[in-house]
Chains A and B, each alone.
Chain A
């Protein structure tokens, strides 16, 4: 009897000793908005749930110091103190940069093994599969839907509304300008933000199909049907509807104009709610509408994959990282996030019966329900992205015309494989 007890105690002791020995830390890079208190609250809740379900595991958030576009993610992966799993802005262009530098691991197997392929929209899975010859390096976490944010009170007072045709939209901008407000604020120094406005203009001028063809290289970017959007931007800058001085602004500088109501409109996505909250802007006053278009069915938000999970090749906790991704893809977590006021994006699969608590988010989800157009920033190959963003800067600062700009983009597209 004693012997049995002794052995059991010894066994129990061994187990007790080894269990905490598995106390592991998963370092997570992101999310981008974690410095906003409500977002931090949501994620701390998710972290707590995961830690409860996996005793001995701790999640440590690493507030992002930047994105793939400005090299911060690459620098972090490169350093030895790097993250074990990353949540950052994605899209084929950005992913290809880190994939080519061999900094992230392929996750294709996990999609099959862990059933991730059934947990995202089918069209999303097909799209991902087609990008790198069948290999997938990211797990989408959020989709973007970019459209026009406007101030309900300012518009109501002046009797304005977002019209249905482009000509009326131009006229609207003229009336806004006449009152001394900036019609549209834009911060091209933040490359992503530049792409939001430009993508909307391209979509509105050419429609989803044409832009899709251009992205698949079936039409050239300097073909007039595609360049139309760039030419529109050029004309807006020439007409003074978009001030050249904005070329020196970044996202925060431009959104500052909007939050202070010195600008009437701003192109952004659902993530803008976090920026607004930080700036103390009353979100019930925010209105959202897609950019008007003369093409039938083209007045929709643009978007695509916004943020994805990546696993660095030197992740110290690859298994744990996969487990974490499983967790975030689960129904429970997705519902929790969708219903939280800090919700900042559209989810990668349908979540039935969930209503976002913030009114403007409702408007965005409704607008995106019929499908979104392409945000080229997320679909362009890596080497083209830099030129793409620089051309937008050039257009806004009046240094280059629409057609020339598109020619430069086309040249890069032809080069890239």
Chain B
């Protein structure tokens, strides 16, 4: 009852916070439509005299954003698919098949959760170099998947543990192998976990910077965050291009988010937090 009355005052109180937090976006978008001279005058409260759509066109062409977006997409799809393929079966095996050393294997996987990727970067690079995978999208996909395996296995395993064993017994009586149980029984009912895994790996891959910085050297294979930083430093004197390029770099994901908002938040906050 009294909860309803609080809505509008709270919403009102939140508005200044909203403006402050979204101010960088607003400033960026407005500035991206200014001419270089207008940007030079550095007045944050003036509107551009004309909407310089040209800035976006120029940034897109010079910045090679088509390639960057393409590479990021390939990167993303590769990582998501490979993550599912590796983590679901492994999670199932660790959750539902008893074999000697199961606990230790699980701990070994969890080790990867704590060690930050920056801590293994030198030998990682050497491994990639030895496999001829430096400067390739294949290389970075493999590394990112490996990076995400501890989390992915943890997620799938936790979910699968919650599935009653009777399902397995029943399927076994019907003569199903573990693989068939996984694909025909477990996966169809694990939408929440799969959703979570997809969204989390997708978001972290799309925005990854450190690994692409190390692995992807030539502009042809670079991904969006890396490409934008390089673009910003190369054209640092062309602020109109830097601003419009920056907007181009995060526009796809923001649009996607607005369209799929509920799935996003559900995927990220799946399940109860209680232990």
Q: Mark A residues whose CB is within 8 Å of B.
A: 35, 62-63, 65-66, 75-76, 78-82, 250-253, 255-256, 259-260, 275, 278-280
Contact = CB atoms under 8 A, between A and B. Distances in A.
A80 B134 contact: yes
Given A65-B230, A280-B36, A79 B237 contact: no
24 contacts: A63-B219, A63-B234, A65-B217, A65-B234, A75-B217, A76-B218, A78-B129, A78-B217, A79-B217, A79-B218, A80-B132, A80-B134, A81-B217, A82-B217, A250-B236, A251-B236, A252-B236, A252-B237, A253-B236, A255-B237, A256-B237, A259-B40, A259-B237, A278-B238
Contacts of A250: 236
Nearest to A274: B237
B230 A79 contact: no
Interface of B: 36, 40, 129, 132, 134-135, 217-219, 230, 233-239
B237 A278 contact: yes
Nearest to A32: B234
A80 B219 contact: no
A65 B237 contact: no
A164 B170 CA distance: 97
Nearest to A62: B218
Contacts of B135: 79-81
A253 B235 CA distance: 12
B81 to A, nearest CB: 26
Contacts of A75: 217
Given A65-B230, A275-B237, A279-B237, A79 B134 contact: yes
A78 B134 contact: yes
Nearest to A261: B40
Contact of A35 (B132, B217, B218, B235): B235
Given A76-B217, A80-B134, A35 B234 contact: yes
B159 to A, nearest CB: 39
Contact of A260 (B40, B132, B234): B40
Which of B236, B238, B239 gathers the greatest number of chain A CB atoms within 10 Å?
Answer: B236
Contacts of A280: 36
Which of A79, A82, A250, A260 gathers the greatest number of chain B CB atoms within 10 Å?
Answer: A79
Contacts of B239: 256
Contacts of B233: 66
Contacts of A63: 219, 234
A79 B238 CA distance: 29
Contacts of B236: 250-253
Contacts of A79: 134-135, 217-218
B38 to A, nearest CB: 12
A293 B260 CA distance: 66
A63 B239 CA distance: 19
A282 to B, nearest CB: 13
Contacts of B134: 78-80
Nearest first, the 10 closest Cβ-Cβ pairs linking A and B are: A252-B236, A79-B217, A79-B135, A260-B40, A252-B237, A81-B218, A81-B135, A79-B134, A279-B237, A278-B237
Nearest to B237: A252
A280 B36 CA distance: 9
Given A81-B218, A279-B237, 10 more contacts: A35-B234, A35-B235, A63-B219, A65-B234, A75-B217, A82-B217, A255-B237, A256-B239, A259-B40, A280-B36
Which of B218, B234, B237 gathers the greatest number of chain A CB atoms within 10 Å?
Answer: B237
Contacts of A78: 129, 134, 217
Contacts of B129: 78
